[in-house]
Structure formats: C-alpha cells, structure tokens
A and B are shown apart, each in its own frame.
Chain A
Amino acid sequence: MVLGTYKEIVSARATDKEIQNVSQDGGIVTGLLAYALDEKIIEGAVVAGPGEEFWKPEPMVAMTADEIIAAAGTKYTFSPNVMMLKKAVRQYGIEKLGTVAIPCQTMGIRKTQSYPFGVRFLADKIKLLVGIYCMENFPFASLQTFISEKMGIDPTLVEKMDIGKGKFWVYTQDDVFNIPLKETHGYEQDGCNVCLDYTCELADLATGSVGSPDGWSTVITRTEDGNSIFQQAVETGVFETKDMANVKPGLDLLEKLAAQKKDKNQKTIDKRKEMGLPVPY
C-alpha cells in the first residue's frame, strides 16, 4: 500500500487559535502532543526546539504545553530527536514519553523497540510517536544557500519556511519569497535518496499538509494507540475534521507524492546495488 497500513485518513486542524497562529499547517503535532500532556497520556515529549542559531533546531524535552507550542512549525534541516529520547527517560525521569519524528527517525525508534540490544528500559516508555511526512531533508548549509544566496535574504528575518505547490517558500514579516523546488535538488542529504517512506508508515499516526487545504493537515492514524488518542482529541474538540472525500486537493495528491518517492528512490536503490554499494533494504 502506497500510504502504508492505516486505520483512518481525515483532514484536520487544531481548533485552538494560539496553535493555529504558530503551527505549520493544521497544528496536528503541536495540538496532539499538548493534548496528550494535558491528559497525562505522556509526561513529556521530545521535539525539535529552537537552537542557538536561527533556524538550526535542537532536540529538546518539552514538559509543558507551552514548551510544545514554542517548538511548533516545520524545520527543514536536521534535528536528531532520537538521541534525546534516552535523556528524556534517564535525566528527566519521564515514564511515558511522546515524540515527533520523520520517517527515518521513526525507523530508528521502532528498530530500537523491536531489537533493544543496547538501550535499556526505553522501548516500553514511548507512548506516542507522531510521524510527519517527509520527502527529503537538508543540511543546514543547504538552507543557508537557499536563503542567503539564492533568495538574498538575511536568515534572521525569516519567520517561516514551507514547501508546497512545487516551490520552497520563505516568509518574512512583510514579504514572501520562493524558489522552484528544482533549484533545491542536489542540496538534500544523499541518505534520503534510498528512503521509500513518505508518509511515516511506522508512526502511531502520521500527518502533513499534503492533500488538505491551506491551514489544514491530512492525518493518517495507524496503530491502535495512535488511532484512539487522535479520536479522543477530536471528541474533546482539540481538532475539527473533514472527510477526505470533500477536501481539495485530496488523497490523490498524497498518494501521488508517496508513490513518486517510492519509485524514484527504488531506482536509486537498484543503481546502488548494481554498483555494489550497501543498502539496508
């Protein structure tokens, strides 16, 4: 299945205005982690928080909804969140842990859970893994190239970055800039080019803007736990939802992009195998 195994797919957004204002799209990750904290489903969450340099995120342990909201928004460069999970459990004493992860990070977490050779007493403490769709990720220097060189903007003025409609977008207080996505090609980390997972197929639930209208996100619930936590949040009014059949651009676009990633990267995998280079799958 091109979207992985799932229980339900809906279009959704957080009803909280504060979250809507700071979130990338529908505020699903922020809203759900904050809800899970409030409901004590989790005691803390590892998120990609602000770092010392502008737009260079650092993994951080958020213990309150405010800290989660402060970390809202997509960062288009590395935040090795997985390395923070052990710290969250050992140093913050968190027994029930949530996190947000892109597909490759999710793979690292799930592998550790199924085969915990060297990581003690962590596997059973991860209670909520919110996945985000991901086509590729960029080294920080690539982002600097897009913003400083190609667009000629001071990175400290950037308020939001986004990818959509075939373009890489940068928002400042007064202006909107973009470059065609084609111009970003070759700047992604090469490790992304053997990844076949667009929709975070091993998360408890996965989300991203693709398929939904502006300000909304497409949510795919996958595991029993992921599905029930999301349903609870919807029933409580944390999220409002729309049937995917009634939204534009709709599920077709999500399926198309997921298939594109699989096809393109399968070719890279085949080529690597021909050259005798290792591929884990």
Chain B
Amino acid sequence: MSLIDRIKQFLGFKAKPDKEAKADEGASKKEVKKVAEEKAKPRIGYIHLSGCTGDVISLSENYDILAELLTNMVDIVYGQTLVDNWEVPEMDLALVEGSVCLQDEHSLQELMEVREKAAMVCAFGSCSATGCFTRYSRGGQQAQPAHESFVPIADLVKVDCAIPGCPPTPEIIAKTVVALINGDMDYLQPMIDLAGYTEACGCDLQLKVVNQALCIACGTCAMSCQTRALDMTNGRPELNEDRCVKCGICYVQCPRSWWPEEQIKKDLGL
C-alpha cells in the first residue's frame, strides 16, 4: 500500500470513484513517488513564537504517518529542538506557531527573517492566525513585565494560509500536508482564505451569522468549541465569554460562514 493510500485510510476517506479522480490520484501518486525519488522534498521550517506548543504536539499526534512523513516526504530545515540550525535557511514552507509579541525584539526579527526566506508562510494554530487567548494579554507579569501586546502574525507579515484551531486537530494537519504534497490547491483554498480572518471571537456567531439571518440552529458551533464556551439556547448559540479564547473555530466550522460543497461531494463520492 502506498503512503498516500495509507494516509487516506488513516483519515477514513475513500477516493472519488469516478475515472477523472482516479486518473488524478494516479498522477498524484506518481508525483509523490517522483518527488521522493528525486529527493526534492519540500523544505519545512517550524517557528515557535508565543504559544503553548499545543499545535506542534497535535502535529506529532499523527503517529501513524509521522515517521514516514518526516523521513521520506519532507525535510525539516529549521526549528527549535527539531534542527540544529540557528540561521534561518531558505525554505518552501514556514509553519509559524504562536502570536508575535511586539515587545519581543527576537520574535519580531525571526518572523521578518522567516517571511523573507520562506516561499509560503502558514499561520499554524489559532494563536498565530487570530491571536487566540494571547489576545487577553495585558502585560505586567513576570518574567517579562513589558511583554504586553500579542498579535496574529498577519498583522506584521503577509500570511499565505492559516490553519486555525486551539490546537488544530491532528487530522486537519495531516490532510493539509497531504494536500500540499499533492498540490491539491482546491483543498487548500479555505486555508488561503482564512489567512484574512485575524479578528476572531465567539461573538462572531451573533454578529456574522445570527445578525445576518443565517443561523439555522444546527449546533455545529457548539460542538466545535474547544473550550465549551458555547451552548445552544432556543436554537441559537449562547456564548459564555469567560470561557471563549477567541480561536475562531466556531465561526470557521459554521456551515453558514463558508461552504466547501465540491470538496465535500468529492470526499463522499457524490
């Protein structure tokens, strides 16, 4: 079984049964094989700014594919604890975890340098994408009382795609990696669009869904909330602001925010 097949099996999806998709899949398999043979593996850097490390832990929860992924499919060229390299090298993709602290010169410099050297910068996890719970920071704490202002990286550099989540699930990370390796831009389009979603809050449901006459009482937001800040009352989301970390997941998963119909039909074989 090829690696891609195993990844698909792991993700619980079958390939679309029609001929076109099969041809595509064949082509992408060959592509992956070719890439592997030529050893022109995508060069990936992992940049850790102000976050809790949960995002990279979620990435590493892809036990089934991680060893193969890291050994045969990608080259990790930069990353604290992952690579013994203190100079930011040229890379194809930079995964940036954590928001950036405006009072931390080192973080600012690293982010700028990464933007220069990386073909693609991905805001990986909600801290990087929306600021997430670091949005609540007000400084005045040890060990760096001056560290007060934390913003999503898109406030400072151009971001090519975002994978929100607190943390993003192991599955979305694996699916994104597979899509990247296959050059499946259709699958990645929502991540590209989400790069612009930097001011997130549970109240987006009220502002952008209920206020816009779009809520249909499905409950997807309440299920998606990773901090149990949402409940459904009379068919509408009710936010407990004290629990909201501003990760944006409720609005991202809402079927009325953006709607990937073609991808869903492909995944279902419809």
A residues sitting closer than 8 Å to B (CB atoms) are 4-5, 59, 77-78, 80-86, 104-105, 107-121, 123-124, 137, 139-140, 189-195, 201-202, 222-224, 277-281
Q: Which residues of B contact A116 (CB under 8 A)?
A: 169, 171-172, 175
Report the nearest A residue to B235, measured CB to CB: A78
* Residue in B164, B166, B219, B259 whose CB lies within 8 Å of A80: B219
How would residues 213 to 244 of chain B score, 1 for a CB under 8 Å from any chain A CB and 0 otherwise? Answer: 11111111111111000001011000000000
Q: How far is A120 from B165 in the complex, measured between Cα atoms in Å?
A: 10
Between-chain CB contacts (< 8 Å), 29 pairs = A78-B234, A81-B219, A83-B219, A83-B223, A84-B219, A108-B219, A108-B220, A108-B253, A108-B254, A110-B268, A112-B224, A117-B164, A118-B164, A118-B166, A118-B224, A118-B247, A119-B223, A120-B169, A120-B171, A137-B217, A189-B215, A191-B216, A191-B256, A192-B216, A194-B214, A222-B268, A223-B270, A280-B258, A281-B261
Q: With contacts A118-B165, A124-B12 known, what are 16 further pairs, Cβ within 8 A?
A: A80-B222, A108-B220, A111-B264, A112-B253, A114-B267, A116-B172, A117-B172, A118-B168, A119-B223, A121-B170, A123-B11, A139-B234, A139-B235, A201-B270, A224-B269, A278-B208
* Residue in B165, B172, B257, B270 whose CB lies within 8 Å of A4: B270
A-B contact count (CB 8 A): 164
* Residue in A86, A105, A119 whose CB lies within 8 Å of B218: A105
CB distance from A246 to the nearest CB of B (A): 27
Chain B interface category by residue count: 35 or more
Q: A84-B219, A120-B169, A278-B214 are in contact. Are A107 and B253 (CB under 8 A)?
A: no
Q: How far is A113 from B252 in the complex, measured between Cα atoms in Å?
A: 13
Q: Which residues of A contact B172 (CB under 8 A)?
A: 115-117
Q: Which residues of B contact A114 (CB under 8 A)?
A: 260, 263-264, 267
Query: Are the CB atoms of B218 and A82 closer together than 8 Å?
Result: yes
How would residues 149 to 191 of chain B score, 1 for a CB under 8 Å from any chain A CB and 0 otherwise? Answer: 0000000000000011110111110010000000000000010
Q: Which residues of B contact A223 (CB under 8 A)?
A: 268-270
Q: How far is A191 from B169 in the complex, measured between Cα atoms in Å?
A: 29
Report the nearest A residue to B212, measured CB to CB: A278
Query: Are the CB atoms of A108 and B218 closer together than 8 Å?
Result: yes
Q: How far is A27 from B175 in the complex, measured between Cα atoms in Å?
A: 38
* Top-8 shortest CB links A-B: A80-B219, A124-B12, A108-B220, A78-B235, A83-B219, A118-B249, A83-B222, A78-B217
Q: How far is A193 from B214 in the complex, measured between Cα atoms in Å?
A: 9
Q: Which residues of B contact A86 (CB under 8 A)?
A: 223
* Residue in B168, B220, B261 whose CB lies within 8 Å of A112: B220
> Is the CB of B265 closer than 8 A to any CB of chain A?
yes
B residues sitting closer than 8 Å to A (CB atoms) are 11-12, 14, 163-166, 168-172, 175, 190, 208, 212-226, 232, 234-235, 247, 249, 252-261, 263-265, 267-270
* Residue in A112, A115, A277 whose CB lies within 8 Å of B212: A277
Report the nearest B residue to A113, measured CB to CB: B267
Query: Are the CB atoms of B220 and A109 closer together than 8 Å?
Result: yes
Query: Are the CB atoms of A280 and B255 closer together than 8 Å?
Result: yes
Q: Which residues of A contact B264 (CB under 8 A)?
A: 110-111, 113-114, 202
Q: Which residues of B contact A59 (CB under 8 A)?
A: 219
Q: Which residues of A contact B12 (CB under 8 A)?
A: 123-124
Query: Are the CB atoms of A80 and B235 closer together than 8 Å?
Result: yes
* Residue in B11, B221, B232, B252 whose CB lies within 8 Å of A124: B11
Query: Are the CB atoms of A117 and B234 closer together than 8 Å?
Result: no
Q: How far is A91 from B208 in the complex, measured between Cα atoms in Å?
A: 31
Q: How far is A192 from B253 in the complex, measured between Cα atoms in Å?
A: 18
Q: How far is A194 from B169 in the complex, measured between Cα atoms in Å?
A: 30
Q: Which residues of B contact A189 (CB under 8 A)?
A: 215-217, 235
Q: Which residues of B contact A118 (CB under 8 A)?
A: 164-166, 168-169, 224-226, 247, 249, 252-253
CB distance from B231 to the nearest CB of A (A): 8
Q: How far is A86 from B253 in the complex, measured between Cα atoms in Å?
A: 14
Q: How far is A202 from B258 in the complex, measured between Cα atoms in Å?
A: 16
